[in-house]
Amino acid sequence: MARVIVIGAGLAGLASSVRLAKLGHQVTLCEAEDRLGGALGRIEADGFSWDAGAASTTLPAALRDLFRKSGRPMESLVQLDPITEPRRHLFGDGSILDLPVGDRGAQQEAWTDLAGEPVAKAWTDLVDGYGETWQILRKTSLEPPLTDRWSLAAIRGLKPWQSLDRVAERRLPDDRARAVLRYFATQHGSEPRLTPGYVGVWSYLERTFGRWTVAGGFGAIADALAQRTKERKVDVRTGTEVVGIDTSGGQVTGVRLADGGTLPADVVVSDVDPRVLYTQLITDPAAKKLRKTVERTHQAQAAYVVHLGLREPVPSLPFETVLHGSPTVTVRTGGQAPAGHQAWSVLVHGYPTDDVLDLLVARGLHVRDLVVTRQTSASWLAGVAWEGYRTARRRAANVSPVKGLYCVGAGAHPGSGVPATTLGAAIVADAIGKA
């Protein structure tokens, strides 16, 4: 049995805690804030409730595996529901695409209706091809720990030197189709011209596995994991800030707390920004090379988020609507509202130069006079920005060169988003192993 300290109670920290506790380790979870869940949470005001962070996920097996590997199945605590509405795309020319998720034939039909058979075939062929990309990434990066080099076969399959922007230009003969593909970079705070083309694999994952949410808000995932920490007897300490990690001979020995206390540890799992971890929390010489590498990365641009409570009648929108333009704006309608009202979350991807309501009105959503409450939440952290394909090797690996130190979360491998951070926690649990 190892004494494990987990720093940070975001999704990855919670996932790591419950997995390791199930493996028989003695786990203490330290969270500087007074609540668990990090970006998974709720904003509540005036009878409305909105997801503070993620509102849905693809690759539901990642979450189900987390709950199964930490105890009882997920359904014993929370139920994932498929999003059956298409994602709506509104383009600058006024055209509208309702693009289904989880259905290859329905996607091809939607593109045919909008742009004709050649565009529909081009989109379908591109997404089909990402199936091979997914298998390469799954076998080389998402199940095992990140290695220093890809095999030649993986490089040939992924073609990491091709940007997402380049793939869109070469493979898709319609500006609207290109905008939809580029959105997979934009929504994570990166520029398509600096994002590897293989990131478009998310189009395949959505089409293959669909998107899923939780009735009442995605924050219920954090609540369920908090409950699981109790079941697994994790020592949860909120309001406990870790200010340093102690080592001896390249091996972690414990952590130092802001109140002057210390906690001994054989293993430390960090769910904080790797740049903070390696430049502020740990000074061991074994981390010197990685420290320099991590310092060369930059944070992805977080979305600016405004939550609106609206009185009806409100324009009828699906769960998610993307308003393409500069900046790109996403409207999510899955919040909870009193009778006769709706709750929207508006995400601005890019630097907003106009008020959110001005942006909505300019894109044809005239809701200014319907607003009864308006809340702004902290911008969603989006992890590491893509700055060319080499970013994949600059992102902090899950297994640190410091013995007993591991790294999870949006800033670490394999990246941001619910599936990626959950998979990172799985990699760490497998690397540490049973007690």
- Residue 364: Cβ within 10 Å count: 11
Cα angle 91, 94, 97; round to 5: 55
8 Å CB contact between 81 and 215: yes
Domain parsing of the chain, residue ranges? 3-41+57-80+217-299+385-432, 101-209, 304-376
What would the two tokens of residue 18 be?
Answer: 């419950």
State the chain's maximal CA–CA distance in angstroms.
67
pLDDT higher for 26 or 392?
26
Pairing assessment for the beta strands 251-257 and 242-248 based on DSSP bridges = antiparallel
Superfamily of domain 3-41+57-80+217-299+385-432: FAD/NAD(P)-binding domain (3.50.50.60)
pLDDT of 421: 94
Q: What residues does 264 pair with on adjacent strands?
A: 254
Domains 101-209 and 304-376 share a fold: no
Cα–Cα distances (Å) from 157 to 119, 129, 161, 205, 389, in that order, read: 24, 10, 11, 17, 14
Element (DSSP H or E) covering residue 256: strand 251-257
Residue 372 in this model has a pLDDT that exceeds 90: yes
Give Cβ neighbours of residue 249 (< 8 Å, ≥ 6 apart). Answer: none
Sign of CA dihedral 284, 285, 286, 289: positive
Mean pLDDT of the 156-165 span: 91
What is the architecture, at CATH level 2, of domain 304-376? 2-Layer Sandwich (3.30)
**Distance, CA of 65 to CA of 29 (rounded, Å):** 21
Residue 216 in this model has a pLDDT that exceeds 90: no
Pairing assessment for the beta strands 320-323 and 251-257 based on DSSP bridges = unpaired
Return mean pLDDT, the chain.
Answer: 93
Looking at the chain, the whole-number percentage of residues with pLDDT higher than 70 is 98
Domain 101-209, CATH = 1.10.405
| Range in 18-32, 238-252, 269-283, 367-381 with the lowest mean pLDDT | 367-381
